[in-house]
Amino acid sequence: MKRKLVILASVYLLACVGILAADKPKIVFLAGLPSHGPGEHEHRAGCLLLKSCLDKVPSITSVVYSNGWPDDPTAAFADAATIVVYSDGGSGHPLLQGERLNTISGLMNKGVGLVCIHYAVEPTKEKGEKEFLDWIGGAFEVNWSVNPTWNADYKELPNHPITRGVKPFTIHDEWYFHMRFRDGMSGVTPILTAIAPESTMNRRDGAHEGNPAVREAVKNLEPQHMAWAMERKDGGRGFGWTGAHFHRNWGNENFRKLVLNAILWTGKIEVPGDGVQSEVSADELKQNLDLKKR
């Protein structure tokens, strides 16, 4: 009798744990395939690092899927509060393969959030751009947007849950700018804005390098938005972030905190008053890096 009671108690406790886990908002990370050189486009390592920071937030749970897409998307996306995509973009974007865009569309229609990091903000104009503008408010468009490496000086930050606890900062990265946004910036709130220096235009015209429109904008000192938040009419939320080419930049507290805050916000999870607190050591930045030729 005693053994039976112990078994019943164990089953009850496991059920309770399952219920509590199910009640926690779930964050789904989609880490793209290995890309670029060592320390660049470290999609898997970056996602695992961000997950390790969020694991210290007691009210949520998160999971990382490598290679850009889960084997069982139905199970992976079940009860997801938000999806974070850190991957290469363009025609190789993981969300553009097969019928995946339709799968994500169904999730967006349910109010699931979406975060796109670095190259993942670039769909193609023919496939994905319209959806990205609807879901996150902006996108990289070839022959319009550019991808120079430069020191962006973020001197002021807007009053928004995503900026809680974040201080102005300057950091060197491949900051895309001159992005394509929704008409009239409808529903879009710029989060990181800076003036691109003339040095960003020291390249020939090309699909990603330069064009007459962006050259004129830089000449006129037009503010450029490198991160933005989007609130959809259906209540869903999106966030675009053009930095994070260099894995080392996750070691910067303000850089990291802003993205962690944005992930919570897109999942409709309350952002702490001083932002998501986390610490990342030099050794932690070296973990889970892709094996790449030097």
Strand 61-65's sheet: what is its strand order? 61-65, 26-31, 80-86, 113-117, 237-241, 224-231, 188-194
Q: What pLDDT score was predicted for residue 2? A: 47
Domain assignment present for residue 183? The answer is yes
Domain assignment present for residue 294? The answer is no
How many domains does the chain contain in total?
Answer: 1
Q: What pLDDT score was predicted for residue 217? A: 98
Q: Which domain CATH number covers 33?
A: 3.40.50.880
Domain assignment present for residue 13? The answer is no
Q: What pLDDT score was predicted for residue 4? A: 47
Closest CA to 244 of 5, 45, 33, 13: 45
Distance CA 244, CA 256 (A): 10
Q: Which residues of the chain have pLDDT under 50?
A: 2-21
Q: In degrees rounded to 5, what are phi and psi of residue 84? A: -110, 120
pLDDT digits (tens, 9 = 90+) for 3-24: 444 344 443 444 444 444 457 8
Q: What pLDDT score was predicted for residue 294? A: 64
Structural domain containing residue 30: 24-285
Q: What pLDDT score was predicted for residue 292? A: 86
Distance CA 141, CA 211 (A): 12
Domain assignment present for residue 124? The answer is yes
Domain assignment present for residue 182? The answer is yes
Q: What is the pTM of this model?
A: 0.92
Q: What pLDDT score was predicted for residue 291? A: 92
Domain assignment present for residue 293? The answer is no
Domain assignment present for residue 215? The answer is yes
Q: What pLDDT score was predicted for residue 23? A: 76
